[in-house]
Amino acid sequence: MEKIASGVYRITAGEPEKFTPVKILKPVPSENLDRLPDNPCPFGDGDIKKKCAEGSCTLEIPLGDDEDIYGFGLQLKSFRQSGRKKVIRVNSDPAADLGDSHGPVPFYLSTAGYGVFVDTSRFATFYCGGSKRKGSRQERENYPSVPNEEGHHFEHKAHSGNMFVRIPSAKGADVYVFAGSTMKDALARYNLFSGGGAFPPLWGLGILYRCWWHTDEEHVLSMAKQFRDEKIPCDVLGLEPGWQTNAYSCTFEWDSEKYPDPERMCREAAKSGYKINLWEHCYTHPTSPVFKMLYPLSGDSYVWDGIIPDFTLSEARDVFAGRHDEIVEQGIMGFKLDECDGGDYLCTGNWGFPEFTKFPGGLDGEQMRSELGLLYQKTMLRPFEKRNIRVWGQSRASHALAAPYPYVLYSDLYDHSDFIRGLATSALGGVMWSPEVRQTGSREELIRRLQAVIFSPLAVINAYMIPSPPWKQYDHDRNLAGDFLPDAQELTNMCRSIFELRMSLVPYLYEAFYVYYSQGIPPVRPLIADYADDMNVRDIWDEFMVGDSLLFAPVIWGRGDRRNVYLPEGKWKNFFDGTEYDGGKSYVFSPGLTEILLFARDESLVPFADPVLCSGADTVYDVSLRLYGKHGACRLIVDDGTSLRYRTEKPDVLLIETDGKDVAGFEPNERYRFKDIIAF
């Protein structure tokens, strides 16, 4: 066992492979990792048993009786993983709870306060305590695997065995153990080891609206105007496949009939504060100007008639990033990196490249399937880093060590429960997820989905299938759900106020993301992260801590308007009216359609800005301090909000305190103006 940083240990089993997440992505751990207090490794030398031979490697990692297991990155179908079997395979359509997802990660967390990362790009299988083995402690101590009929339920099987990890086609692997004082601390160490969490530009925290596929320059600009005229907050307009001469696969060339002057369009949009983001995938069409150069630098399979660049090769990165550099020069401020996942089941079709694909850099198709998302993300950062610009984009695939990458995952699936579960699981594996909102079957559904997406790392409205915003789609439609029939104007007003809530929280979220960057703690996380010792929260995947002071409980579309909310220890106050609740208890709420279940921790202070339509480098926020209790403190981060300077020069951090009368620490600055105190 080798100690590699404070509380981080590496245990090598057999002969690790040449290509693994650590070796491919070369993470640069945050310097803050070594500032954390040290902790001993929870496993002694020899505790992790290894059976490595030609063809596969199996690890056995101890699992205590009262430990529960979480993690494996984005998991849409389950939350607590104790007793389950999970295959870590990047896939666009997890048809069942098998482990596949857009961003699965070979990393798990235990409620005993440690995390384990198996450094492999293989489709590794994790057996999370459900397999009792001959000769094991569990056999000697007579652990029941299936105590009775009911015992078939996975929870009863959870503690009948250790954790087993089977890695196909590998003769070994490095195992990294993150020893925390708590589960949250172990997660933070994993994120800091990956390089620290991604830090968005201020505009990244606003609303991203993806326009209709068939839009053109004129329509984009008319959309931009419409939002401003109707005072709908929006920072980014996204163009979908139609902007290119060929989209499936991509040419990375503008369709000049629809977009005669992209530079002018970006300039015009920027005048009213918009950034433009472009959809693409990396499969490169034969008519693309970079096809010939990429041909020898790509894998030996096609996807949709496009070649797959091998981003492990610096020449391939140069060519690809070079083409995108020209696009960025035209004024584009971000990309949506689609379809870098692949699909094996029938939900979204069966497509992608086979596992036996060979890439010139040496990876095979299985390894590339795991790494393509992050390699693509990394390549696409170059044009922005070169210009000292911070970006915030979207990607449909991710994997291990993703924390520092400023891309948020999304999906073609749309079940709202799965989408909310994704928000919980992603946070426990260093990936970010947006439960994006598209067209909906009813006005109620639209409202409930919007109320949830504004509490995610990226508030995306993906209207690529419809020409006008989802809140306008009901102008001529019957409301399928029946009763609730606000007219178009009323519905627009309702949506606007949801967006405004997000905009009011931008300063608060910005600070929470700075904590993600510097301390590795994700800004939006399920209760288990903060309250791992509270047995009541172990299965709660639909309540979130947002920053340190807020608790958000979304009303999930399709599960009725009544919902149970468990408030952990302490006192909590309704964010909007201050109604007080004792923690350690559950409550049933029936929130009206415009009501959001948001609670503030007692004795907390939440900076709340007058909503702006978008955030620019010179935006000044007028901040009310919402005080819950007698005394509270919060932090505000003051920096340019757009450049990469925060990496080399620490931003100003204002520590603000108030007792409801006097305010200390709100020093005059160029970003925030003190408005008032609102006490609850």
| C-beta neighbour count of 669 within 10 angstroms | 12
Closest CB to ligand GAL among 239 and 313?
239
DSSP, residue by residue, 239-287 = E-GGGBS-TTTB---B-TTT-S-HHHHHHHHHHTT-EEEEEE-SPBPTT
Binding mask 412-431 for ligand GAL (x = CB under 6 A): x-------------------
Distance CA(82)–CA(77), nearest Å, equals: 14
Among 339, 341, 364, 500, which residue interacts with ligand GAL (rule: CB under 6 A)?
A: 339
Q: Tell me the closest approach of the beta carbon of residue 78 to ligand GAL, in angstroms.
A: 22
**Subset of 235-274 contacting ligand GAL (CB under 6 A):** 240-241
- Dihedral in degrees, nearest 10, Cα atoms 584, 184, 199, 617: 30
**Subset of 129-188 contacting ligand GAL (CB under 6 A):** none
Closest CB to ligand GAL among 92 and 425?
92
DSSP 3-state percent helix, strand, coil across the chain (nearest 5): 25, 25, 50
CA-to-CA dists, residue 473 to 79, 219, 446, 481, angstroms: 34, 17, 10, 14
Q: Tell me the closest approach of the beta carbon of residue 399 to ligand GAL, in angstroms.
A: 18
Q: Tell me the closest approach of the beta carbon of residue 250 to ligand GAL, in angstroms.
A: 11
**Subset of 457-476 contacting ligand GAL (CB under 6 A):** 462, 464
Chain mean position to CA 603: 29
DSSP, residue by residue, 401-465 = T-TT--EEB--S---HHHHHHHHHHHHTTT--B---B---SSHHHHHHHHHHHTTSSSEEEE-TT
Distance CA(639)–CA(653), nearest Å, equals: 9
| C-beta neighbour count of 85 within 10 angstroms | 17
Residue 583 tokens read as: 């923690």
CA-to-CA dists, residue 3 to 9, 11, 38, 372, angstroms: 4, 9, 10, 30
Helices then strands, each counted (H, E), the chain:
14, 34
Q: Tell me the closest approach of the beta carbon of residue 555 to ligand GAL, in angstroms.
A: 24
Closest CB to ligand GAL among 339 and 602?
339
Max Cα-Cα span within the chain: 75
Closest CB to ligand GAL among 463 and 506?
463
Report the relative pairing of strands 621-628 and 672-679 from DSSP bridges. parallel
Closest CB to ligand GAL among 338 and 511?
338
**Subset of 298-317 contacting ligand GAL (CB under 6 A):** none
Closest CB to ligand GAL among 217 and 338?
338
The one-character DSSP state at 46 is T
Q: Tell me the closest approach of the beta carbon of residue 563 to ligand GAL, in angstroms.
A: 28
Binding mask 271-290 for ligand GAL (x = CB under 6 A): --------x-----------
Closest CB to ligand GAL among 470 and 523?
470
Closest CB to ligand GAL among 446 and 612?
446
| CA-wise closest residue to 204 among 387, 406, 383 | 406
Q: Tell me the closest approach of the beta carbon of residue 233 to ligand GAL, in angstroms.
A: 21
Give yes or no for residue 665 binding ligand GAL (CB under 6 A): no
By beta carbon distance, the residue nearest ligand GAL is 412
Q: Tell me the closest approach of the beta carbon of residue 473 to ligand GAL, in angstroms.
A: 17
**How many binding residues for ligand GAL (CB under 6 A)?**
8
Q: Tell me the closest approach of the beta carbon of residue 240 to ligand GAL, in angstroms.
A: 5
Among 338, 444, 445, 500, which residue interacts with ligand GAL (rule: CB under 6 A)?
A: 338
Interface residue list for ligand GAL (CB under 6 A): 240-241, 279, 338-339, 412, 462, 464
